Structure 1
Amino acid sequence: MALTTVAATLIATELPAAACGEDDKPAVQAKHTAGDPGAIKGVRAVGNVPDAAGAISANFLQYGHRDVMVVSGEFGLKVYDLTRNPAAPKAIGQLSLPGLWETEDTEVDAKRKLVFLSRDPRAFEGNTHTGESGIYVVDVSRPEKPTILSYVRVPAGHTTSCVDGCRYLWTGGPAKADDQPADWGGRPIWVTDVRDPRHPVVHPDPIELARNDGQTDYVHDVQVDSAGVAWVSGRGGVRGYWTSGLHRDPVRGGVHRATALAPIPYAGGGVDETAAPSKFLHNSFHPVGPREAGAWRGHDLVYATEENFLDGCAGDGVLTISSLAGSYNGEGWRSTPTDPFRLQSIGTWSVAGQEGSDPASDDCSAHYFDLRDHVLVQSFYSQGTRFLDVSDPTNPRQIAYFRPADASSWAPYWHDGYVYVADNVRGVDVLKLTA
């Protein structure tokens, strides 16, 4: 296996010990009851990659007929070939960056074969008050030898997402640094131009301000839908933006050209507190067109995860499904504490008390999910990976689950008929839905 190790001078810092995440669990967090055998139904485990222990995120790249999986975690990157046997990924390459923090939702440029790896300020024993954050641009054109093309400091660094065809990156989170405005509740988005990946350019002025009823707050992640709208999740809800093309601007008025630096609002806003009491939306998905929306085409919906950790399971974060109706005229951008705007919640699903759950666990928050046709697969940390039929989004229904006793499920991915689960303790589980 090719191994690239970054010199200590590149990654080392002299910062205080890391504090645990304000809205994210620490990376290692398997919580299971002694003697608990786990629970599995409607799904078959066909493979496991234990040497990917610490896995947080995964991506899939094609090199001609070759199918490759890139896994990120606090170790850096590990690369696996799936071509011959997708149930038994073969390790072929590694970029060692021990000491990263989580690397949630690492994204790739499939055309240029680039990985954009976030450096959270808590990485390398840093902290949210004074730690350094930034982006590593990694070349995986030769998957056996991932190589850092560049590193750039960015005032945010919890997650980094591609927008406008990966010509730009939007980077947000976590909690604000000591040198950032005192009235911020968390870090918004900074935009980085990566058209020249060897020389990224960070725009100095942040965007997606005043997202929480007028207050600038924690942006957690960004997902781009198949129409090109970038959906920004964080404290205060989910808001969608055009990043290219000519569009009506419901906030400024008139028709303008959207860019990654000057995006145009599409729809969205805060989610009803009865569905998401914490107001902290972690990630989202916006179905576009009949194939993604299914029988609910014509109903503009947004799926989102509330990440929230309370004592016991009943109050932990849920999957929320909301209607975007009534939010197309900038209502979510004019919301204030005295005149709040909220999306109408049409459905929710929580793992607490569901079949297959460990009643002794107090770790039940929702996390990343992936949707194919009408089956949504979602991670729930130590409560494992759950498969939901969402053909009726007003009534999500569990059809299968995979909860090994040592589960620490962070993110599942549909890929060529399999589900690959990034599990922070187990590595990567390869599952086949049989329900």
Structure 2
Amino acid sequence: MVLRRTPRWRTLGAALGVVSLGLALAPASAATPAHDAPEPAAERTVAGPTGDVQKSDNIRHVANMPKQEPFNTLNAYGTDIAFKGDHAYVGNYDGFVVYDIKNPTKPSIVTQVACPGGQGDVSISGNLLFVSVDYPRTNDTCTSESTTAADPNGWEGMRIYDVSNPAEPRYVSAISTDCGSHTNTLVPDKAGKDVYIYVSSYGPRAEFPGCQPPHDKISIIKVPLDNPAEPVLVDAPVLFPDGGNPGNGYTSATTGCHDITAFPEKDLAAGACMGDGVLFDISDREKPRVINQVRDDENFAFWHSATFNNEGTKVVFTDELGGGGAATCNEKTGPTRGANGIYDIAGSGADAKLEFRSYYKIPRFQEDTENCVAHNGSLIPTKSGDYMVQAWYQGGVSVWDFSDSANPKEIGYFDRTPFDPGKLEISGSWSAYYYNGYVYSSGIQDGLDVLEINDPRTNNAKNVRYEEFNPQTQPVYQR
């Protein structure tokens, strides 16, 4: 989600401190000091999903686990998901939630960690959980308070937890990054000793000491797996030395990246960088190199995220028109704006180029009280073809086929009627990912939904199993 950087303040919904279900954690260790959002709506609790469910016949709604106190407020947005074994780690603007998903028909909350900082993007490696902090705090602890980006002592960046016991996450360390961490991408090193975190952030201003323009870069953190208490900022490479997209009043100017998806086994990554779509060579993990850069100044407003197909020959880029807070899945907006862009990768190595093939947008108009736009999703690991499951906020969850890059089509969907029929509230599916036979959807207000796809085109994917899954770190699965 964009939540564009304007004057940086936000009072987060949950109580300060690390508490939940009786859990109390130690504060973070000291870290190098290091950043907005609209003012929150009036605080109120959310009882659970609202509206009626509409879905295709090949989708079964297996379960829902509503948001629980203290994350059951309107401003405690549920966000991204990382998976490890029988657990799902779901980010939240106010911390994160650990779910037991051993029985997908009966997910349960193991614990909740209240540690505000927005937007709570998560990645996991072994027993380490990495959580993004994108709003300036007075310090790196969970008892910090919100401050402004103009505060020279403000902090934002990455927090690291030990989740060897999922019921008792332990805060290990933190490290600051310029402009905070809107999203993060885990990239394992080739020796298996360290992991790298590519930090995407954006929105610089001259009056922000920790977020100075032009900010045409990302931050790269190296975390030794045997000593996660000592993360190191190894580089902050400038991706656009000649400047990114200047913007045109419709397409955003590029001042950083929103998200990067790594494909380690292919030594590739795809960056969604506000006004630019980027293909990287990441064979040297500490020195990602831009191979190709594309723009779509007519249809793409904000390059948001990216997904490769399994062969690494295609990239699906999402356009987050309206920052995730607008009704853009209506007739007025049309079929190409706020859609996915499907690109084939032609050539290889230094000669690889992204070539546009088509747009994909859900084929159902949504109400003007429903925020809706292309958002986070993942491949379905089928034996043939290219299939994806994807969140569309209040447009629900879409299952679609892009095997023919020029002619994508939807094959299934799950969609609730408006969260509030009387006015537009920020709600819907933030992230929807396929993991070990089921689709898990993180609802901004709806909690965790579990879906099952029963379709001959995708059923063979139910046999594919992962022990660990980060959607921004794509694995290669065997066809």
Matches within 5 A, 1:25-424: 37-42=52-57, 43-51=59-67, 54-62=77-85, 67-83=86-102, 85-97=103-115, 99-104=116-121, 106-109=122-125, 111=126, 113-122=127-136, 124-130=145-151, 132-155=155-178, 156-165=180-189, 167-177=195-205, 178-179=208-209, 184=214, 188-195=217-224, 196-203=227-234, 205-210=236-241, 212-213=244-245, 217-225=255-263, 226-244=265-283, 258-260=284-286, 262-265=287-290, 267-274=291-298, 276-278=299-301, 280-289=302-311, 300-309=313-322, 312-313=328-329, 314=333, 316-325=337-346, 329=350, 343-351=354-362, 354-355=363-364, 357-361=365-369, 363-372=371-380, 373=382, 374-405=386-417, 406=419, 408-424=428-444
Distance 2:202 2:26 in 1: 25
With over 3 angstroms needed to count, the CA separation of the structure-2 counterparts of 1:330 and 1:122, relative to structure 1, is: farther
Distance 2:435 2:236 in 1: 37
Tell me which residue corresponds to 1:426: 446
Deviation at 1:419, TM superposition (A): 0.2
With over 3 angstroms needed to count, the CA separation of the structure-2 counterparts of 1:58 and 1:331, relative to structure 1, is: closer
Runs of 4+ that moved beyond 6 A? 8-11
With over 3 angstroms needed to count, the CA separation of the structure-2 counterparts of 1:389 and 1:95, relative to structure 1, is: same
With over 3 angstroms needed to count, the CA separation of the structure-2 counterparts of 1:330 and 1:127, relative to structure 1, is: farther
Give the letter for the 1:49 counterpart: M
Deviation at 1:56, TM superposition (A): 0.6
Distance 2:211 2:240 in 1: 12
Distance 2:210 2:159 in 1: 23
With over 3 angstroms needed to count, the CA separation of the structure-2 counterparts of 1:379 and 1:181, relative to structure 1, is: closer
Deviation at 1:152, TM superposition (A): 1.4
Distance 1:241 1:308 in 2: 24
Give the letter for the 2:395 counterpart: Q
Deviation at 1:187, TM superposition (A): 5.8
Q: Percent identity?
A: 24
What's the secondary structure of 1:219's corresponding residue? coil
Deviation at 1:242, TM superposition (A): 3.1
- The TM-score with structure 2 as length reference comes to 0.69
Aligned residues: 374
Deviates more, 1:47-56 or 1:422-431: 47-56
RMSD of aligned alpha carbons: 3.4
Deviations 1:207-250 (A, max 9, x none): 32346258862211111114232222212323233333xxxxxx
Deviation at 1:90, TM superposition (A): 2.3
With over 3 angstroms needed to count, the CA separation of the structure-2 counterparts of 1:194 and 1:415, relative to structure 1, is: same
What's the secondary structure of 1:402's corresponding residue? strand
Partners of 1:78 and 1:95 within 8 A in 2? yes
With over 3 angstroms needed to count, the CA separation of the structure-2 counterparts of 1:403 and 1:311, relative to structure 1, is: closer
Deviation at 1:45, TM superposition (A): 0.8
Distance 1:79 1:181 in 2: 31
What's the secondary structure of 2:67's corresponding residue? helix
Partners of 2:245 and 2:276 within 8 A in 1? no
Partners of 2:328 and 2:373 within 8 A in 1? no
With over 3 angstroms needed to count, the CA separation of the structure-2 counterparts of 1:403 and 1:330, relative to structure 1, is: same
Give the letter for the 2:52 counterpart: P
Distance 1:397 1:115 in 2: 35
Deviation at 1:349, TM superposition (A): 1.2
Partners of 1:268 and 1:327 within 8 A in 2? no
Distance 2:94 2:26 in 1: 12
Deviations 1:3-42 (A, max 9, x none): 134659989x9x9xx5329xxx99x99xxxxx96352223
Deviations 1:146-202 (A, max 9, x none): 011101121131112112346211112131142368652x56211112113111112
What stretches of structure 2 of length at least 5 have no aligned partner?
1-20, 45-49, 138-144, 247-252, 420-426, 456-479
Deviation at 1:433, TM superposition (A): 1.5
What's the secondary structure of 1:272's corresponding residue? coil
What stretches of structure 1 of length at least 5 have no aligned partner?
30-34, 245-257, 294-299, 333-342
Deviations 1:60-106 (A, max 9, x none): 112xxxx12111112312212222x1221122233221x321223x1
